Structure 1
């Protein structure tokens, strides 16, 4: 398996087999090809055709080295997917290509919701993408979010539930509250998800009766805030760099709309 170090996952290997990129002794390999030892195995990946349209989207780069980058994800854009306008599509024009031998197209290694702002971790080499994925799997990367929530809350709490049949947990700390004529009370809440389920923070806060301001999917219908976006921000990531072994603690400043409600936050 040594020659396949540049492949990202087992599923990636299956894909390149299906696309007939691997030959064994000059014969196109399949998943049924048996390796005895001593064969000449060649991996040839054709250069992808460049898309006719180029997405022009400026992204703020918070940190970057040859292995990885940390960027600010704006609201109202998908991280990745089949859409033309995604963060993944815009990465090559915003991030310098790695000089390392296994440099690859930069790839986000986790997701943020369409409406969520904040810090996003990107791998720039095949080995760093694999390493960062494993770190997320083993919860070796600490994520801190902030949200503005509606209604009175306890000073801190732990929220647990099943999401899509899997256990989930989020811890929260109430940082500050202000009174509101329309919403009664608005809170600045620090959030630390212990698991990574889809829409986890939004579902958890809604479940305890404190939905996130601007959440049209999990909010209270009579209190939906239109036109201001979702008040959920991925504030920081903390982890040990998998190759330099230095601690990375990167913050992404609060959006202006948070500061309008809580002017004293930095």
Structure 2
């Protein structure tokens, strides 16, 4: 059970939003389901999702016991960077979906984790995403942290919420980025027309900040580093496209015709740093760019023809 006292800042806030802000790793829709199932009370009384909390009230939520996971454990090799009893850091390859969903019930990172970790995965994010506290897109490569217990999950989720985790990505973008460094500070939400896409959305979007730095210039392309201050869906892809520099290979936010055979955006989660849940020590990990990314950069450096 989780419980909170409603302070002045939260007065008159919708109950689902109130809980969502305090359980950043849990989706609003799941919280609304718990409210509908009468697992949320205010001063011991059941309320609806549109109820507005008042200063001085006491909010309680009962999280149901996790149901048995009907997802197959698969012996899929993992590129493990670090592992202990609390966390596991993996280097996710290209074309691997993080967790099962419609159309992707096998071959995901979760399928591999269930085989490798057995029952040692956090349960907070539900049966479809055991251990998963954050994610990267299918075609994005690089570092993901997996939580093996709920204590570690809550600790990492809180660090993500307050933006204290170090997350640096490397990307190849279209066009010459003229400034050596820059920041994109623009809210991201669902595209108003195409619901499968995200977009800069000043009306309904969530606060999003990306800092970028030029690493190399190749005329028509620029190799950059992006550091996330927030972690919204497709954040780097949307932010860089919004300033005229979509990621090379991006089938959603970039040009229809792409110059290289990349099978998706050229984006790699290169550095991940966090405070360890048990030792309270800062740990930081870094991975090499995938081979396809390195080859394209080398050909651009040599001004050769990329096929």
TM exceeding 0.5: yes
The gaps in structure 2 that reach 5 residues or longer are: 3-24, 46-62, 190-204, 302-307
- Of 115-124 and 150-159, deviating more is 150-159
Does 2:134 correspond to 1:116? no
Q: Measured at CA, do residues 107 and 255 of structure 1 come closer, stay the same or move farther in structure 2, by a change above 3 Å?
A: same
Tell me the distance in 1 between the aligned counterparts of 2:87 and 2:168.
Answer: 19
1:220 aligns with 2:255: yes
Residue 225 of structure 1: CA displacement? Answer: 4.0
Quickly say closer, same or farther: Cα 1:54–1:153, change in 2 above 3 A.
same
Q: How many residues align?
A: 236
Superposed displacement of residue 95, structure 1: 3.8
Equivalent of residue 76 in structure 1, options 95, 119, 123: 95
Give the number of the structure whose residues are more often strand, by fraction. Answer: 1
* Alignment check: 8 A CA contact 2:170 2:267 kept: yes
Aligned equivalent of 2:184: 159
Q: Distance in 1 between matches of 2:112 and 2:266?
A: 24
Residue of structure 1 aligned with 2:273, choices 228, 234, 238: 238
Task: State the SS of the aligned residue for 1:167.
Answer: coil
Q: State the partner residue of 1:89.
A: 111
- Say whether residues 1:56 and 2:56 are aligned partners: no
Please say which of residues 256-265 and 191-200 is displaced more in the overlay: 256-265
Q: 1:254 aligns with which of 282, 285, 289?
A: 289
Which consecutive unaligned segments of at least 5 residues does structure 1 have?
Answer: 3-7, 19-28, 36-42, 179-183
* Residue 138 of structure 1, CA deviation: 1.0
SS in 1 for 2:134: coil
CA separation of 1:44 and 1:209: change in aligned 2, threshold 3 A: closer
**Conservation of the 8 A alpha-carbon contact between 2:75 and 2:116:** no
Aligned Cα root-mean-square deviation (Å):
3.6
Q: Tell me the TM-score normalised to structure 1 length.
A: 0.75
Query: In terms of Rg, which structure is larger?
Result: 1
Is contact 1:79-1:112 (8 Å) kept? Answer: yes
Alpha-carbon separation, structure 2, partners of 1:200 and 1:134: 19
Deviations 1:97-147 (A, max 9, x none): 659xxxx99512101011100000110011111111111111121100000
The two structures have a TM-score, normalised by structure 2, of: 0.65
User: Residue in 1 aligned with 2:153?
Assistant: 129
**Aligned equivalent of 1:142, options 159, 166, 186:** 166
